[in-house]
Amino acid sequence: MEQVPCVHCGKFFIPRNRSQNYCTEADCQRARKTAWQRYKMKIDVDYRTQQQPILEPSPINLCSLLLTTGFLKVILNVILIGRKQRHAKSNSKRPGYHSSPD
Q: Which is nearer to Zn ion, 27 or 44 (CB)?
A: 27
CB 36, min distance to Zn ion, A: 15
Figure out which of the listed residues 21, 25, 40, 47 binds Zn ion, where binding follows CB under 5 A.
25
Rg value, the chain, Cα: 35
Q: Is residue 35 near Zn ion by the rule CB under 5 A?
A: no
Q: Is residue 23 near Zn ion by the rule CB under 5 A?
A: yes
φ/ψ of 27, rounded to 5, equals -60, -40
Q: Is residue 32 near Zn ion by the rule CB under 5 A?
A: no
Question: What separation in angstroms does the CA of 50 have from each of 2, 30, 40, 53?
Answer: 38, 21, 11, 7
Q: Which is nearer to Zn ion, 7 or 66 (CB)?
A: 7
| Residue 27 CB partners (closer than 8 Å, separation 6+) | 8, 9
Q: Which is nearer to Zn ion, 14 or 81 (CB)?
A: 14
With contact defined as beta carbons under 8 Å apart, do 7 and 15 qualify?
A: no
CB 2, min distance to Zn ion, A: 16
Site residues (vs Zn ion, CB under 5 A): 6, 8-9, 23, 25, 28
